[in-house]
Amino acid sequence: MNNDNAENNNDKKRLSLLVPMYNESSVIPVFFETVLNVLKEVTYELEIVCVNDGSTDNTLALLKSYAEKDARIKVISFSRNFGKEPAMTAALDYATGDAIIPIDADLQDPPELILEMLEKWEEGFSVVFARRSSRESDGLVKRNTALWFYSLFNKMSDTYIPSNVGDYRLMDRRVVDVIKRLPEKDRFMKGLFCWPGFKSTTVEFERPERAEGETKFNMWKLWNFAISGIASFSTMPIRAGIYVGLMISVASFVYAMFIVTKTLFMGVDVPGYASIMVAVLFLGGIQMFFLGLLGEYIGRIYKEVKNRPLYVVEETIGLG
């Protein structure tokens, strides 16, 4: 790996790659080899901002060894595991590039696409989305739930998220400066990346298998991630309680009129136990559902009020 100790050329544009890492020691060598080989011909000043998110393997040791050999590699190490969204936020805070590209270390975000994104950026686009052309490599359940999530999110939120687009994208410095001013603690980065707007375009790619290691996400984490995204960008779930309550009230009034009319013309009969239990359980379920929704939003208020930092940096390498 070539050592890049040259002073930054102020006439050159700067490219920052943001790489959150958690227990990625098995993929680090092939990641740096691939990325640096792809970008060896670019004319931009390059920095690779790697965030060690409290890894328990030798990820940090490997990152340090690579940073010692190549000044373009910068390392931020957290005091513990804070999660991918805080790790991405830290990388944004420290990145100095004119163009910023979040990328996963597992090489499922093809580095070759960076060159195409840079071309679109030079054409004047402030955001260049990298969109998967298909999800055939995913299982049926994951493929369908992803489709439902994007559809539901875009119907409920004022912030539009392109379908099949992850964190992998190019953002101009103006876009990143806006994102850095967003103060929320419970962060859904896909939404935050799209919130500023600006002129955008899309490049498509086929997503390969992981180069090494295993994914850190499972269906439970993805489910919670989806709930977090919707709650972060829409109040429609709570507002839906108004409409559900109104519909139940109307239905109850209609049923009450039916009972009154029936009693007046046919006399009093003994109501059934089953119908009473169904009504009680149905209304109780609706109430618990919306209490849970309220709890989700109140919990977010609680996090914001505490105002704890999103992450704690234990050490940095190669950063001012």
The 3-state DSSP class for residue 282 equals helix
Same domain, 74 and 157: yes
Same domain, 53 and 87: yes
Q: Which domain holds residue 139?
A: 14-218+309-317
Same domain, 207 and 243: no
> Is residue 248 in a domain?
yes
Read off the pLDDT band of 8 (50, 70, 90): very low
* pLDDT recorded at residue 79: 92
Same domain, 163 and 254: no
Helices (H), 25-161: 28-38, 59-69, 84-94, 113-122, 140-156
Buried b (16+ CB within 10 A) or exposed e, 205-217: bebeeebbeeeee
Residues 51, 295: Cα–Cα separation, whole Å = 32
* pLDDT recorded at residue 305: 80
- Residue 219 parent element (H or E): helix 219-233
Digit-coded pLDDT (tens) for 169-211 = 999 999 999 999 888 877 878 778 888 888 889 888 877 665 5
Residues 163, 152: Cα–Cα separation, whole Å = 11
Q: What contacts 229, CB < 8 A, 6 or more positions away? A: 149, 153, 188, 190, 191
Which of these, 37, 8, 14, 193, lies nearest to 121 by C-alpha position?
A: 14
* pLDDT recorded at residue 4: 47
Local structure of residue 169 (DSSP, 8 states): E
Residues 205, 134: Cα–Cα separation, whole Å = 8
Digit-coded pLDDT (tens) for 54-87 = 898 899 999 999 999 999 999 999 999 988 889 9
Can you say whether residue 143 is alpha, beta or left, with left for phi > 0 and alpha for psi between -120 and 50 degrees? alpha
Least confidently predicted of 199-213, 217-231, 290-304? 217-231
Same domain, 80 and 196: yes
Q: What contacts 287, CB < 8 A, 6 or more positions away? A: none
Residue 157: pLDDT over 50? yes
> Is residue 2 in a domain?
no
Same domain, 40 and 186: yes
Residues 212, 30: Cα–Cα separation, whole Å = 9
Digit-coded pLDDT (tens) for 260-278 = 676 666 665 556 655 676 6
Same domain, 164 and 286: no
For the segment 23-45, the average pLDDT, to the nearest whole number, is: 89
Q: How many domains does the chain have?
A: 2
Name 228's bridge partners: none
- Judge whether 189 and 88 are in contact, CB under 8 Å: yes
pTM exceeding 0.85 = no
Same domain, 191 and 301: no
Residue type, 5: N
Which of these, 48, 58, 119, 85, lies nearest to 317 by C-alpha position?
A: 48
Neighbours of 39 (CB within 10 A): 19
Same domain, 271 and 167: no
Same domain, 110 and 175: yes
Same domain, 20 and 166: yes
